Structure 1
Amino acid sequence: MSTPTTNVSGPRSIIDAQSGDLLGASAWVIVTQAMIQHFSLASLDDDPMHTDPDWAATKGPFESTVAYGFQTMSLLTHMFHSATASGAARDPQTEGYFLNLGFDRMRLVAPVPVNARLRGVFWLKGKHVDEAGRLRISIEVEVEIEGGERPALVGTWLSVWAPPESASP
């Protein structure tokens, strides 16, 4: 990632930011075995590499359980709200709303061991107004593993901001 020039935070930070601006870094999140178990239940994936500490210690490639890659991705919204000091609940009549469009070049770089601390760091890559008057946004993201040599995840997150009826982006 390039060196950020500006750190902007708050509910409108992404709308007001310029390409290359640091949107923020989240608080650290500890990925516990209980979180991994809950994700297993929600995703209907009971792979013992993630869910069975004894199996993972004796037969797994990482010597302990690890978070699911998609679990790491699923933490991005929480981390983004933490990084930008914004909440998920907003009034679409006065503030508009965000929708996820997907990801470009998303990579799961390093496994996340159980009890690891993660944080997301977000930069504005670019934005433009589409034909419907919505702001299309590209966000560079890196999920760091505290003390890790490599990040857990890197990529570009795509979203759209639909402005309220009374405002324009």
Structure 2
Amino acid sequence: MTPQDIEAKVGQNVATSEWAEMSQERINQFAEATGDHQFIHVNEEMAKQTPFGGTIAHGFLTLSMIPYLTAESDFPRMDGIKMAVNYGGNKTRFISPVRSGKRIRGHWKLIEMTEKRPGQWQQTCEITIEIEGEEKPALICEWMTQYFV
């Protein structure tokens, strides 16, 4: 798709990803990578004593799943991309914890698509990470990506 084709989709839901499991192994690997070993993430026995009833994924792990979920989605692909970079977020809210073993998937709504300078496009999407079988999402964020074509 051209950037203009994608720009014409502003205001629309543009993608849904496949489901991805938030396994305890993935949670433990994230704890190791970030140094965040809080017991609610890695100690199953202690976490059973909390209102969560077991271990939960780090909020930042759920957020960091966005690139993987994007790759596993029907997200519109722009023709001729030389490079894409995360530009940042306007809003991020962690709504519900993701319990170990649950599956998540992403939904994208295109909020804005703007040509910042020739060949450089900035895209803003509202991303909702759904938890399978649960009423409330894990998180909702407004995320910006810059594309160079």
Check 1:131–1:48 CA distance in 2 against 1; reply closer, same or farther (3 A cut): same
Alpha-carbon separation, structure 2, partners of 1:84 and 1:13: 16
1:149 matched to which residue of 2? Answer: 135
The Cα RMSD (Å) is 2.1
SS of residue paired to 1:83: coil
2:83 matched to which residue of 1? Answer: 97
- 4+ runs deviating over 3 angstroms: 12-15
Alpha-carbon separation, structure 2, partners of 1:144 and 1:101: 23
Letter matched to residue 131 of structure 2: I
In the alignment, is the contact (CA less than 8 A) between 2:115 and 2:121 conserved in 1? yes
Q: For structure 2, list consecutive stretches of 5 or more residues without a partner in the other structure.
A: none
SS of residue paired to 2:73: helix
Q: Give the TM-score, by structure 1 length.
A: 0.79
In the alignment, is the contact (CA less than 8 A) between 2:120 and 2:146 conserved in 1? yes
Which of 36, 51, 75 matches 1:61?
51
Q: Whose RCO is larger (CA < 8 A, sep 6+)? A: 2
Q: For structure 1, list consecutive stretches of 5 or more residues without a partner in the other structure.
A: 1-11, 88-93, 164-169
1:111 matched to which residue of 2? Answer: 97
SS of residue paired to 1:126: strand
**C-alpha deviations, 1:121-144, integer Å up to 9, x for none?**
111111111135410110110000
1:5 matched to which residue of 2? Answer: none
Q: Give the TM-score, by structure 2 length.
A: 0.90
SS of residue paired to 2:100: coil
Q: Which has the higher strand share?
A: 2
In the alignment, is the contact (CA less than 8 A) between 2:81 and 2:147 conserved in 1? no
Letter matched to residue 101 of structure 2: N
Do residues 79 (structure 1) and 65 (structure 2) align? Answer: no
Identity of aligned residues (%): 27
Do residues 122 (structure 1) and 108 (structure 2) align? Answer: yes
